[in-house]
Chain A
Amino acid sequence: EVQLLESGGGLVQPGGSLRLSCAASGFTFSSYAMSWVRQASGKGLEWVSVIYSGATPTYYADSVKGRFTISRDNSKNTLYLQMDSLRAEDTAVYYCANTQGAAGPFYFDHWGQGTLVTVSS
Chain B
Amino acid sequence: HSALTQPPSASGSPGQSVTISCTGTSSDVGGYNFVSWYQQYPGKAPKLMIYEVSKRPSGVPDRFSGSKSGNTASLTVSGLQAEDEADYYCSSFAGSKNGALFGGGTKLTVL
Query: Which residues of A are in contact with B by a Cβ distance under 8 Å?
Result: 35, 37, 44-47, 49-50, 57, 59-62, 95, 100-101, 103-114
Residues of A within 8 A of B103 (CB): 44
Shortest Cβ distance from residue B95 to the other chain A in the assembled complex, whole angstroms: 7
Distance in angstroms between the alpha carbons of A105 and B47 in the assembled complex = 16
Interface check B7, CB cutoff 8 A? no
Are the CB atoms of A47 and B38 closer together than 8 Å?
A: no
- Chain B: number of interface residues, binned into ranges: 20 to 34
A111-B95 contact given A44-B102, A47-B102, CB 8 Å threshold: no
B71-100: which residues lie under 8 A (CB-CB) from chain A? Answer: 89, 91, 93-97, 99-100
- The prevalent SS among residues of B at the interface is loop
Closest A residue by C-beta to B104: A44
Q: Choose one: B46, B96, B99, B101; the contact of A95 (CB below 8 Å).
A: B46
Are the C-beta atoms of B93 and A101 separated by less than 8 Å?
Answer: yes
Interface residues of B in 45-63 (CB under 8 A from A): 45-48, 51-52, 57
Assembled-state Cα–Cα distance A70/B89 (Å): 24
Q: With both chains docked as a complex, state the minimum distance between the C-beta of A70 and any C-beta of chain B, in angstroms.
A: 11
**B45: which of A49, A61, A106, A113 is its contact (CB, 8 Å)?**
A113
A110 to B44, CA, bound (A): 13
